[in-house]
């Protein structure tokens, strides 16, 4: 089997704080292939962004520290490779899109020049060629009147347009992998839809792998192939998108799905997961979700559940396996099937 | 979290202070239903004054759920600005050293006779400019007075000027700046322009002009002058800080409740806006002390017979070649004092600036 | 939400708040000491609505549409440039001093950010008890501590935690503290400005459920302002869609969400992501072109016309009024500020 585009294995990150060591990422594994979209879903503090920073090599350290695991990119471990080699890969083969485009762009350089710089530095193009390519790229991400607007500064663009420029920056060198960290969270819904559409289209066109990090169950439903749900620094469930929404195999996923109000029908009273996510400084014993879990038993308090293999329904096997970190995943699915039948 | 299980608040446990242990704050034990249960709480609907509008107790679904105590809900780090700052400061050697020096200086400013038994005014011309002698470790000055005694007594003037001028400038500056920041409008514009005018006055030139007309040798004209030139700096900081804090939702919330301006300023804005003012004032204290010495050196600050480092440095300056000890000791004392206050200010700033954590 | 027929009947009778032609323009000035007026940001323009007792009016719109300004006007944090806000027959926009303070007892607010809406230097007891200090007539001094504990209990917090500080609570718990503070004076109306958008998904539902329970319990009327159409649909009886300072469309939840007639509402709804990879009923997505124009220089006529696919010459010259369009029947017959209001054909299919 050919090496996967990105294969994260048992990644561990901890943060040293004044109040002790916080285990922000406690053994996360996920993978994405070229041309596929993996959505990493989690609430704030679930470790989804820290994982991405560790993959990209932009983790703030100190206080952060990678304490274990592998990040295989096209079969090679990024964590053991030299700094220079890693930087080259980061520039050309993988790129990242951030939530806040305004702070990710240089405020005193016109956007066209910022894009052109990518070509000048990485591809050694002449200034004139680089400029031309920059305008082409802006046009490609559908910025109206790109040629005129290339001379504008970031603050002169609207939020949606700035996010397009961010996407253009990430796309400039046609990377194999893009990691997008909450790319549309700061945007209004109408703009959000445009940006997601663009991102999906570019991914198809260039056959890139896309890791989409978000807290929004709605955003990922349309675009993701596989979803990994994170809770308290761990993956609790990985599943093809359809299975995850139809038959979640972890009580946390199920709780999330039930607690979101929906625009397409007015529901009864919302289901609410009780309590709040735990502090990474004081993770509960056993399964970190057990204090909030309606299904929790004594074993959940004592024994940390491994990632159980869950049979995927329908045509799913192509998109990889299905896992759940719940001792009672079978009961969870049976209960769901009983309701649905 | 070995806390007893109380089904009624299974999802509502507050986060115990990280340092205080899970059972801190008396929240550990089960709530005594007789004391705080619904019946007791219901009482006669206190909130309405009139007839009860229905039972307070609500059929909230999560209360019926048999659940268990939470593990540790997400705890934002930190225990409040001041507690955190104190925690930082106690471990900061710079803070400890400078605080000890300042404590020592304050003590000898109040009771100089504790370590200097002589009389700072008593001179013996026969010993003028003599070097160290037994019982007179720092030697004698031009008038044959004991340099050690004068250096010890000189602390009083410096510390008095430093503390009084800082207090005056801080109070005036934060009052004016705070009000300008809170009310805004023309008052703000006017005050900012006035502050600009004072900023524009060169401090030495201003001192020479203002203080040369004063005949009193006491510390108060100098204190007054420093306050006059020092408040604009504080007022700018205070104004900026109040403008930031004013935008916070809790201030808006107080206004929605109908809180008066006075209440809003004192309870909500001042406690949250004061930190930057304290930092700037502590650093300014050191510079005010050196400013006093500079003015005294130039002959327009304190005047004899007041004992001051600035005056002694001034009179010693001419003799620097044949009697360097006369200059060395008061100048050294001055440097150490200024340094101690500036170091203290730095340490306080680092401790109060959350971005540095 | 369980609502008996008699309840919904009472909801349609008694308006507690009536807003007429409300406008707020922020002047744009230039100059340092002498300020020259060079224009105005029209944050809110001719907004009218009525709020009935026990009802929830949801106001949705994208950032910059003026919905938060409406909230500030309703709780008198800002003074309107024009228009009236009648609460029980009295125009509160003209009140000040003692009279305004008295009205404030009845109109309270819940804020968006649970981290900045509580004073970090005050204990929970002081925060929730502050309303009683400002309005001493509400609770006698000796009873205040008990009243505060009662309130904490009502919002689902442990009354024993009265001496803790806000940072010792999680986001959801802080929002409960903010709700307890808003509830202390037993107001009739609560204006909630994005009360759950800063919370995590799993905690959002807790707070929404709490707000619904409190509404039934205390017969509260809510103005619920949010950008999240899903949450608004869930909690609201009636919904107003706002665009660039004006209401584009108002109606019941079903009318707005299932039978929208204003193009903006239709586009907005079609863009909302649904947590379902294969939704059963889903109109094709309408991608709007361009961005929202600046409120300092809004388009003439219909403000949505620059992004509207139905726009005609008439839209540039004639401001569409918010009224029930002629020729529409059934649930589509609700107020819509569009010259060409009609349901989307695809929705029905």
For residue C349, pLDDT over 60 is answered with: no
Given an 8 Å threshold on Cβ–Cβ distance, is A189 in contact with C268? yes
Query: Which of the four pLDDT bands, split at 50, 70 and 90, describes residue A44?
Result: confident
Given an 8 Å threshold on Cβ–Cβ distance, is B257 in contact with C157? no
Q: Which candidate from B27, B78, B189 shows the least CB-CB separation from C158? A: B27
Query: Which of the four pLDDT bands, split at 50, 70 and 90, describes residue C280?
Result: low
Distance between B56 CA and the closest CA of chain A, angstroms:
21
A273: which 2 tokens?
């997961």
B180: which 2 tokens?
């300008």
Given an 8 Å threshold on Cβ–Cβ distance, is B256 in contact with C109? yes
Given an 8 Å threshold on Cβ–Cβ distance, is C173 in contact with B46? no
Q: How many structural domains comprise chain C?
A: 1
In a domain, C136, yes or no: no
Exposure of A43 by Cβ count < 10 A (0-12 exposed, 13-18 middle, 19+ buried)? buried
Over its C-alpha atoms, chain B yields an Rg (Å, rounded) of: 29
- Beta strands A94-97 and A177-181 are parallel
A195: which 2 tokens?
């940006």
Show residues of chain A in contact with C267, CB under 8 Å: 190
What value, to the nearest 5°, has the Cα angle with vertex C269 and ends C265 and C274? 170
Chain C residue closest in CA terms to B258: C101
Beta-ladder partners of C52: C15
pLDDT (tens digit, 9 = 90+) per residue, A143-195?
888 888 888 998 888 888 888 899 998 888 889 999 999 888 888 888 888 88
B79: which 2 tokens?
């225990």
Q: How many Å separate Cα B232 from the centre of its chain? A: 17
In a domain, C169, yes or no: no
Over its C-alpha atoms, chain A yields an Rg (Å, rounded) of: 21
Given an 8 Å threshold on Cβ–Cβ distance, is B258 in contact with C101? yes
* Residue B81, pLDDT score: 65
More confident residue, A241 or B72: A241
Chain A residue closest in CA terms to C272: A189
B152: which 2 tokens?
């010890």
Q: Which of A232, A275, A278, A280 to mutate to probe the B interface, most B CBs <10 Å?
A: A275
- Contact indicator for C239, C250 with CB cutoff of 8 Å: yes
End-to-end CA distance of chain C: 29
A328: which 2 tokens?
């009672």
Residue by residue, DSSP assigns B221-269 as HHHHHHHHHHHHHHHHHHHHHHHHHHTSHHHHHHHHHT--HHHIIIIII
pLDDT (tens digit, 9 = 90+) per residue, A313-323?
654 444 457 89
Q: How many Å separate Cα C172 from the centre of its chain? A: 20
Please state the rounded mean pLDDT for residues C39-55. Answer: 90
- Which is it for the CA torsion A284, A289, A291, A292, positive or negative? positive
Residue spans of the domains in chain B: they are: 1-77, 83-356
Euclidean distance between CA atoms A279 and A15, whole angstroms: 12
- Contact indicator for C69, C24 with CB cutoff of 8 Å: yes
Interacting residues of B355 by C-beta distance below 8 A, sequence separation 6+: none
Query: In C, residues 278-297, which contact B (CB 8 Å cutoff)?
Result: none
Neighbours of chain A (3+ CB pairs under 8 A): B, C
Of B215, B211, B203, B224, which Cα lies nearest the Cα of B304? B215
* Residue B353, pLDDT score: 63
Query: In C, residues 87-146, which contact B (CB 8 Å cutoff)?
Result: 100-101, 104-105, 108-109, 111-113, 115-122, 130-131, 134-135, 137-140, 143, 146
Show residues of chain B in contact with C131, CB under 8 Å: 257
Q: Which candidate from A192, A272, A276 shows the least CB-CB separation from C205? A: A272
Show residues of chain B in contact with C176, CB under 8 Å: 12
* Residue B101, pLDDT score: 92
* Residue A178, pLDDT score: 92
Backbone φ and ψ for C175, nearest 5 degrees, come out as -65, -35
Distance between B82 CA and the closest CA of chain A, angstroms:
16
The one-character DSSP state at C288 is P
Task: Check CB contact of C347 with chain A, cutoff 8 Å.
Answer: no
Interacting residues of B160 by C-beta distance below 8 A, sequence separation 6+: B109, B219, B223
* Residue C13, pLDDT score: 63
- Contact indicator for C83, C47 with CB cutoff of 8 Å: yes
Interacting residues of A19 by C-beta distance below 8 A, sequence separation 6+: A281, B18, B19, B77
Neighbours of chain C (3+ CB pairs under 8 A): A, B
What torsion, rounded to 10 degrees, do the Cα atoms B322, B328, B329, B334 define? 140
In a domain, C122, yes or no: no
Exposure of C15 by Cβ count < 10 A (0-12 exposed, 13-18 middle, 19+ buried)? middle
For chain B, list residues with pLDDT below 50. Answer: 1-78, 355-357
Given an 8 Å threshold on Cβ–Cβ distance, is A282 in contact with B74? no
* Residue C98, pLDDT score: 85
Domain of C276 in residue numbering reads as 5-106+187-348
Mean pLDDT for chain C?
Answer: 87
Query: In C, residues 301-340, which contact A (CB 8 Å cutoff)?
Result: none
* Residue B309, pLDDT score: 85
pLDDT (tens digit, 9 = 90+) per residue, C311-332?
899 999 999 999 998 888 888 8
Euclidean distance between CA atoms C228 and C245, whole angstroms: 18
Q: How far, CA to CA in Å, does A76 sit from each of A33, A67, B151?
A: 14, 18, 71
In a domain, C225, yes or no: yes
Given an 8 Å threshold on Cβ–Cβ distance, is B62 in contact with C116? no
Instruction: State the pTM of this model.
Output: 0.79
Of these ranges, B133-147, B272-286, C21-35, C256-270, the one predicted with the greatest mean pLDDT is C256-270
- The H or E element containing residue C180 is helix C171-183
Q: Which candidate from A269, A282, A290 shows the least CB-CB separation from B72? A: A282
Show residues of chain B in contact with C173, CB under 8 Å: 12, 14, 73
Q: What is the largest CA-CA distance in chain C?
A: 68
- Beta strands C90-91 and C82-87 are antiparallel
- Contact indicator for C154, B56 with CB cutoff of 8 Å: yes
Distance between B196 CA and the closest CA of chain C, angstroms:
13
Euclidean distance between CA atoms C271 and C286, whole angstroms: 7
Q: Which candidate from A43, A193, A245 shows the least CB-CB separation from C200? A: A43
Euclidean distance between CA atoms A32 and A7, whole angstroms: 7
Residue by residue, DSSP assigns B340-354 as HHHHHHHHHHHHH-G
Query: Which of the four pLDDT bands, split at 50, 70 and 90, describes residue C34?
Result: low
Q: Residue length, chain B?
A: 357
Given an 8 Å threshold on Cβ–Cβ distance, is B47 in contact with C165? no
What value, to the nearest 5°, has the Cα angle with vertex B338 and ends B333 and B341? 125
Euclidean distance between CA atoms A30 and A42, whole angstroms: 14
CATH number at residue C270: 3.40.50.300
- Contact indicator for C224, C195 with CB cutoff of 8 Å: yes
B331: which 2 tokens?
């100048």
Chain B residue closest in CA terms to C171: B74
- Which is it for the CA torsion B173, B174, B179, B182, positive or negative? positive
pLDDT (tens digit, 9 = 90+) per residue, C53-67?
999 999 999 888 999
Q: Residue length, chain C?
A: 349
Backbone φ and ψ for A241, nearest 5 degrees, come out as -55, -40
Superfamily of domain B83-356: MetI-like (1.10.3720.10)
- Which is it for the CA torsion B198, B203, B209, B213, positive or negative? positive
Of B227, B228, B223, which Cα lies nearest the Cα of B302? B223
Given an 8 Å threshold on Cβ–Cβ distance, is A17 in contact with B70? no
Given an 8 Å threshold on Cβ–Cβ distance, is B75 in contact with C170? yes
- Contact indicator for A215, A42 with CB cutoff of 8 Å: yes
The one-character DSSP state at C336 is B
- Count CB neighbours of A302 within 10 A: 11
Q: Which candidate from A161, A255, A268 shows the least CB-CB separation from C202? A: A255
What value, to the nearest 5°, has the Cα angle with vertex C43 and ends B264 and A104? 85
Interacting residues of B66 by C-beta distance below 8 A, sequence separation 6+: B7
* Residue B63, pLDDT score: 28
């Amino acid at each position: 089997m050919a090496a996967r585009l990105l294969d994260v294995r048992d990644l561990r990150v901890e943060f040293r704080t004044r109040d002790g060591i916080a285990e922000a990422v406690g053994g996360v594994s996920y993978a994405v292939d070229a041309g596929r979209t993996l959505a990493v879903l989690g609430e704030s503090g679930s470790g989804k962004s820290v994982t991405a920073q560790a993959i990209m090599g932009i983790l703030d350290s100190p206080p952060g520290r990678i304490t274990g695991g592998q990040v295989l990119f096209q079969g090679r471990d990024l964590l053991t490779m030299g700094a220079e080699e890693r930087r080259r890969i980061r520039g050309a083969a993988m790129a990242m899109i951030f939530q806040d485009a305004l702070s990710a762009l240089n405020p005193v350089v016109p956007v066209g020049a910022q894009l052109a710089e990518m070509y000048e530095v990485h591809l050694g193009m002449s200034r004139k060629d680089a400029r031309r390519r920059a305008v082409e790229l802006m046009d490609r991400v559908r910025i109206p009147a790109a040629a005129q607007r290339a001379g504008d500064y970031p603050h002169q663009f609207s939020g949606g347009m700035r996010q397009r420029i961010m996407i253009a920056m990430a796309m400039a060198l046609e990377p194999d992998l893009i990691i997008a960290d909450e790319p549309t969270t700061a945007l209004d819904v109408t703009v959000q839809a445009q940006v997601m559409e663009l991102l999906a289209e570019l991914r198809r066109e260039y056959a890139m792998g896309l890791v989409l990090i978000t807290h929004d169950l709605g955003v990922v439903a349309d675009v993701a192939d596989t979803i990994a749900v994170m809770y308290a620094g761990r993956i609790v469930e990985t599943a093809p998108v359809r299975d995850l929404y139809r038959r979640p195999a972890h009580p946390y996923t199920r709780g999330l799905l039930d607690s979101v109000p929906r625009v397409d029908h007015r529901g009864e009273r919302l289901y609410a997961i009780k309590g709040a996510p735990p502090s990474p400084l004081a993770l509960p014993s056993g399964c970190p979700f057990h204090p909030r879990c309606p299904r929790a038993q004594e074993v959940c308090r004592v024994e940390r559940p491994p990632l159980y293999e869950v049979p995927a329904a329908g045509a799913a096997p192509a998109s990889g396996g299905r896992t759940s970190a719940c001792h009672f995943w079978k009961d969870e699915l049976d209960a769901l099937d009983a309701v649905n039948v | 979290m070995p806390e007893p299980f109380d089904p009624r608040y299974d999802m509502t446990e507050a986060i115990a202070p990280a340092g205080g242990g899970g059972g801190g704050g008396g929240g550990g034990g089960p709530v005594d239903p007789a004391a705080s249960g619904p019946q007791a709480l219901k009482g006669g609907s206190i909130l309405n004054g009139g007839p009860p509008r229905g039972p307070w107790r609500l059929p909230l679904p999560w209360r019926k759920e048999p659940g268990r105590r939470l593990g540790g809900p997400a705890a934002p780090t930190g225990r409040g600005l001041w507690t955190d700052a104190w925690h930082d400061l106690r471990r900061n050697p710079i803070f400890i050293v400078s605080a000890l020096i300042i404590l020592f200086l304050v003590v000898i400013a109040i009771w100089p006779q504790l370590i200097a038994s002589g009389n700072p005014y008593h001179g013996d011309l026969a010993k003028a400019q003599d070097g160290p002698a037994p019982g007179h470790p720092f030697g004698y000055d031009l008038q044959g007075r004991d340099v050690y005694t004068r250096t010890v007594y000189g602390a009083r003037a410096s510390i008095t000027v430093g503390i009084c001028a800082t207090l005056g400038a801080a109070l005036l500056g934060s009052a004016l700046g705070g009000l300008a920041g809170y009310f805004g409008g023309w008052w703000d514009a006017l005050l900012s322009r006035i502050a600009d005018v004072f900023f524009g006055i060169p401090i030495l030139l201003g001192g020479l002009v203002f203080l040369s007309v004063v005949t009193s040798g006491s510390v108060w004209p100098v204190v007054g002058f420093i306050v006059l030139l020092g408040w604009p700096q504080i007022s700018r900081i205070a104004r900026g800080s109040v403008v930031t804090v004013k935008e916070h939702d809790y201030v808006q919330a107080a206004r929605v409740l109908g809180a008066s301006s006075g209440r809003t300023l004192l309870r909500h804005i001042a406690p949250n806006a004061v930190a930057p003012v304290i930092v700037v004032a502590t650093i300014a204290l050191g510079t005010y002390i050196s400013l006093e010495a500079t003015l005294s050196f130039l002959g327009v600050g304190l005047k004899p017979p007041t004992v001051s480092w600035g005056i002694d440095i001034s009179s010693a300056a001419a003799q620097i070649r044949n009697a360097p000890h006369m200059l060395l000791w008061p100048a050294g004392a001055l440097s150490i004092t200024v340094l101690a206050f500036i170091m203290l200010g730095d340490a306080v700033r680092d401790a109060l600036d959350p971005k540095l954590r | 939400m369980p609502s008996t027929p008699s309840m919904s009947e009472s909801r349609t009778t008694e308006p507690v708040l009536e807003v007429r032609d409300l406008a707020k323009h922020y002047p744009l000035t230039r100059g340092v000491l002498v300020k020259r007026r060079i224009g105005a940001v029209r944050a809110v323009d001719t907004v009218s609505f009525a709020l009935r007792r026990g009802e929830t009016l949801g106001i949705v719109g994208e950032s910059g549409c003026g919905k938060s300004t409406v909230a500030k006007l309703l709780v008198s944090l800002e003074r309107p440039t024009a228009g009236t806000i009648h609460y029980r027959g009295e125009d509160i926009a003209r009140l000040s001093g003692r009279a305004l303070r008295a009205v404030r007892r009845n109109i309270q607010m819940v804020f968006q950010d649970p981290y900045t809406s509580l004073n970090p230097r005050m204990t929970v007891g002081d925060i929730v008890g502050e309303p009683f200090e400002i309005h001493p007539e509400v609770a006698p001094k000796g009873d205040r501590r008990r009243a505060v504990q009662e309130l904490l209990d009502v919002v689902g917090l442990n009354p024993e935690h009265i001496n803790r500080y806000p940072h010792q609570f999680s986001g959801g718990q802080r929002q409960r503290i903010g709700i307890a503070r808003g509830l202390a004076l037993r107001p009739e109306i609560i204006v909630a400005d994005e009360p759950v958008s800063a919370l995590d998904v799993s905690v959002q539902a807790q707070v929404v459920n709490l707000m619904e329970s409190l509404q039934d319990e205390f017969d509260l009327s809510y103005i619920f302002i949010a950008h999240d159409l899903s949450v608004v649909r869930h909690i609201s009886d009636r919904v107003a869609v706002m665009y660039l300072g004006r209401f584009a469309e108002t109606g019941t939840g079903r009318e707005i969400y299932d039978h929208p007639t204003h193009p903006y509402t239709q586009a907005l709804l079609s863009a909302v992501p649904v947590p379902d990879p294969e939704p059963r009923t889903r109109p094709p997505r309408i991608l709007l072109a361009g961005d929202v124009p600046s409120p300092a220089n809004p388009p003439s006529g219909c403000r949505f016309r620059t992004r509207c696919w139905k726009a005609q010459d008439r839209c540039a010259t004639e401001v569409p009024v918010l009224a029930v369009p002629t020729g529409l029947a059934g649930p589509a017959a609700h107020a819509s500020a569009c010259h060409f209001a009609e349901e989307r054909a695809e929705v029905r299919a």
